[in-house]
Amino acid sequence: MRALIVLWRLTLPSLLRGSAAIAPGERRDPAPSVWAYRYQRLMLTPVYRRLVHVGLPVGLVLLMGALWLASADHRAALATRVESIKDAVQERDAFMVTALEIAGADAALSAAIREVARIDLPVSSFDLDLDALRARITDLTAVRSAQVRVLPGGALEIAVVQRVPVAVWRYADGLRLIDAEGAMTGMIGERGDRADLPLIAGDGAKDAIDEALALFSAAAPIAPRVRGLVRMGERRWDMVLDRDQRILLPTSGAVAALERAIALQQAQGLLDRDVAVVDLRLGERPTLRLNPVALSSLRAQAAAAATPPPAAPIPEDH
Amino acid sequence: MRPLYETQRLMRGLRRAALQRGVIAILDLGTSKTACLVLRFDDAAAPRTDGVGPMAGQARFRVIGHAVTRSRGVRFGEVDSMGETERAIRTAVQAAQKDAQVRVDHVIVCLSGARPQSFGLHGEAEVEGPMVDGWDIGRALASCEVPDMGPGREVLHAQPVNWLLDHRAGLSDPRGQVGERLATDLHLLSVDGAAIETLLLCLKRCDLECAGIASSAYVAGLSSLVEDEQELGAVCIDMGGGSTGLSIFMKKHMIHADSVRLGGEHVTSDISMGLQVPMAVAERIKTLHGGVVATGKDDRELIPIGGDTGDWEHDRRVVSRTELIGIMRPRMEEILEEVRARLDLAGFDHLPGQSIVLTGGASLIPGLDGLAARILGRRVRMGRPLRVQGLPVAATGAAFSAAVGLTLFAAHPQDEWWDFEMPPDRQSARSFRRAVKWFKDNW
């Protein structure tokens, strides 16, 4: 300690006195050393200047950060801290969804949507994937389109436009409901469940649903007797009435042909007679097929009325 | 090292490169002070006001840094001690760089010593094409007979000062003119090669690249002679610390340069010896109280000399100003007589205009113009350097005329010998042509 004090007392005056004494009349005449000169020139070089003033501090900070992150504990701590801050922000009341509102859907569809959406309320709106939710809801057959949005106040609104079934399609696997676009909206167990809807059948029936609906509306005068429409060969319709009567309609102009048959019915009671098939496929030659009993009685009458020649038999086409 | 001729060519390239970079330094390495100016060349910065001309071509640059320091290690305008000279250069360049806040790599330097010697050369050549072009000029310059400059001498300046085309004399630029025989008068200034090599080596050791080298008498004339003096004929006497340079100008060209190896430091050493004081005190007395013309009042003006010998009597001496003038005047007279002799040798009497301009630090002694008029016997005026943009007030005095002249030299150097392409095959082509001529004449 004493040695230190002595050293300090020795050095202090020399520090205070500054550099070597200058002779009077002589000016102090310092010159930079070679290294001071080179250092100054280096620091005046723009690249080095920028390197030292910007690059060095930035590099130091990055280095310190990298060293700190080199430890796995630090990384984990940082990750949890980031997560907690993120959660704290996301779970504020302003961002929470507390209610689910479904608009435009009946009870069954609402249940189906709730089933599909699978949302555990309350949930943060950051965790909701609205696009995926909308895609899942739109995938439901009964939904035509859906809008999903988070309303202010924390409610998730799902507005759907439901498909309206217009016909029942009897298909291999059962009875399907189809809407005016031919899309299936659901299935029913028995025809009686939706007795109000007309019935169609046959392959490709749903693709020609427009024509089917037009035919059903044209058949309004004989509506009580109509059992349904059958698509034949994916190109034309047969209208099936009760008593196993059929009206065979052409590929094109089916509505006009049906109206013609209905006009015949209204004028002459065609369909009330013992006719099995009204074949309108050839417009210039509508053909009737009678039941065997009617045919035999017709033949007997004809034979009684006049001797031959008898009427030519109606060719059967199937 | 490579010959100075090629070095000068290299320096021209370096100067051009430095001007493109926009920053160049000026170093006036004198015997008593080293001045450094940093110039920024920027065409856009030139003020373009109506009615203001190009300001003698010095509006293109601006002085952005300035530093002066005491010279060390330079005697008679030549490098005497390289280490000390480097220190002086480093001090000046570092301070100027700090002032300008920019790093300079290229420096143009002037030196006053190295025993300059002038030669007048004459060369002529046939014009080959219909008009005079650069090749013809190069051949005319190449045909100059280089005089015997002596051992170890190098060419510092080689400037064509006059062109003759057939019988028309006094052309300033023959390029593009029609004629048959082109002749030129060349002013060649030779200096000691070793002095220049040493100076270049000093600069190199300070990490600076020399982009030009000039005689300080020449550049002092550039800055302190006005245009009509340069045109009609004048001599600029640059009275420096260790040597006094003189450059004779005619038709805006330097036609003669010489140097007297006497200067202000000799006056200081005279005072130092005469009054028994240190050089620093003598310098101070000279600058504060010096003069060359004594009046009756000067007997009563007593100057304390001072000193720190411890002898009370010795330290409190006083000297009258008359005594001081009595010491200074003979030396100044000697310098001016020497200049007079050199001017007579150069034939200054035959010039149409005979203005004499005194400049440089030693010319600031009061009353020198009267003394100079008595000895040189002509119209004498004191010269101050041209004002250039951004020059600090401290550097506008006569002591800085060489530094300011160097800035003008940096901006607009005179065309020199090495600026023109030499015909590479001048010997062989001539002999080949002679052979062809001989064949034509005989067959």
pLDDT value of position B43: 63
Domain boundary among B273, B305, B332: B332
Domain boundary among A128, A162, A196: A162
One domain for residues A199 and A250 = yes
Residue B437 domain-assigned (yes or no):
no
Residue B303 domain-assigned (yes or no):
yes
DSSP state at residue A131: H
Q: Where does residue B149 fall: left (phi above 0), alpha (psi -120 to 50 degrees), or beta otherwise?
A: alpha
List all residues of chain B from 38 to 97 with a beta carbon under 8 Å from chain A.
69-70, 72, 87-88, 90-91, 93-94, 97
The CATH number of the domain where B321 resides is what?
A: 3.30.420.40
Residue A282 domain-assigned (yes or no):
yes
* A29 contact residues in B (CB cutoff 8 A): 70, 72
Range of the structural domain that residue A149 is part of: 93-162
CB contact under 8 A, A40 and B72: no
Which among B94, B278, B308 has CB closest to A37?
B94
Residue A243 domain-assigned (yes or no):
yes
Domain boundary among B156, B191, B226: B191
* A32 contact residues in B (CB cutoff 8 A): 90-91, 94
Q: Specify the number of domains making up chain A.
A: 2
The CATH number of the domain where B170 resides is what?
A: 3.30.1490
Domain boundary among A162, A183, A199: A162
Which among A26, A30, A34 has CB closest to B280?
A26
Range of the structural domain that residue B301 is part of: 264-332
pLDDT value of position B423: 58
pLDDT 10s digits, A128-153: 888 888 888 888 877 888 888 888 88
CA distance A43 to chain B (A): 9
Distance CA(B99)–CA(B104), nearest Å, equals 12
* A44 contact residues in B (CB cutoff 8 A): 97, 101-103
pLDDT value of position B1: 42
One domain for residues A270 and A281 = yes
pLDDT value of position B127: 84
One domain for residues A152 and A186 = no
Residue A65 domain-assigned (yes or no):
no
Distance CA(A147)–CA(A145), nearest Å, equals 7
Instruction: Give me the total of CB pairs closer than 8 Å, taking one residue from chain A and one from chain B.
Output: 46
- CA B217, B220, B224, B226 torsion: positive or negative? positive
One domain for residues A182 and A288 = yes
Contact (CB, 8 A) for B120 and B185: yes
The token duo for A164 is 């309206």
pLDDT 10s digits, A274-301: 888 888 888 888 888 888 888 888 889 8
Residue B282 domain-assigned (yes or no):
yes
Distance CA(B175)–CA(B173), nearest Å, equals 6
Across the strands, what pairs with B106? B209
* A31 contact residues in B (CB cutoff 8 A): 69, 72, 87-88, 90-91
Residue B272 domain-assigned (yes or no):
yes
CB contact under 8 A, B103 and A44: yes
* B103 contact residues in A (CB cutoff 8 A): 41, 44-45
Q: Tell me which H or E stretch contains A188.
A: strand A184-188
CB contact under 8 A, B206 and A37: yes
Q: What are phi and psi of A113, to 5 degrees?
A: -65, -45
Q: Answer yes or no: is pLDDT of A13 > 70.
A: no
Residue B281 domain-assigned (yes or no):
yes
Q: What are the mean pLDDT values of chain B's consecutive 10-residue runs (443 residues total)? A: 67 83 90 91 60 55 90 87 89 92 91 88 84 81 81 86 86 83 89 89 90 91 89 90 91 90 92 89 90 88 84 88 92 93 88 88 90 86 87 88 90 76 59 80 80
The CATH number of the domain where A262 resides is what?
A: 3.40.50.11690
Q: Which residue of A has its CA nearest to B206?
A: A34
One domain for residues A170 and A296 = yes
One domain for residues A219 and A150 = no
Question: Of A42, A44, A50, A52, which to mutate for an interface test with B (greatest number of B Cβ within 10 Å)?
Answer: A44
Q: Specify the number of domains making up chain B.
A: 2
* A38 contact residues in B (CB cutoff 8 A): 207
Domain boundary among A142, A162, A182: A162
DSSP state at residue B272: H
Residue B24 domain-assigned (yes or no):
no
Residue A81 domain-assigned (yes or no):
no
One domain for residues A212 and A285 = yes
One domain for residues A216 and A283 = yes
**In whole numbers, what is the pLDDT of chain A averaged over residues?**
84
Contact (CB, 8 A) for A122 and A98: yes
**Burial of B414 from C-beta contacts in 10 A (0-12 / 13-18 / 19+):** middle
Domain boundary among B311, B332, B353: B332
pTM over 0.80: no
Residue A169 domain-assigned (yes or no):
yes
The CATH number of the domain where A131 resides is what?
A: 3.10.20.310
Residue B427 domain-assigned (yes or no):
no
pLDDT 10s digits, A31-63: 888 888 898 888 888 898 899 999 999 999 999
Residue A45 domain-assigned (yes or no):
no
Residue B2 domain-assigned (yes or no):
no
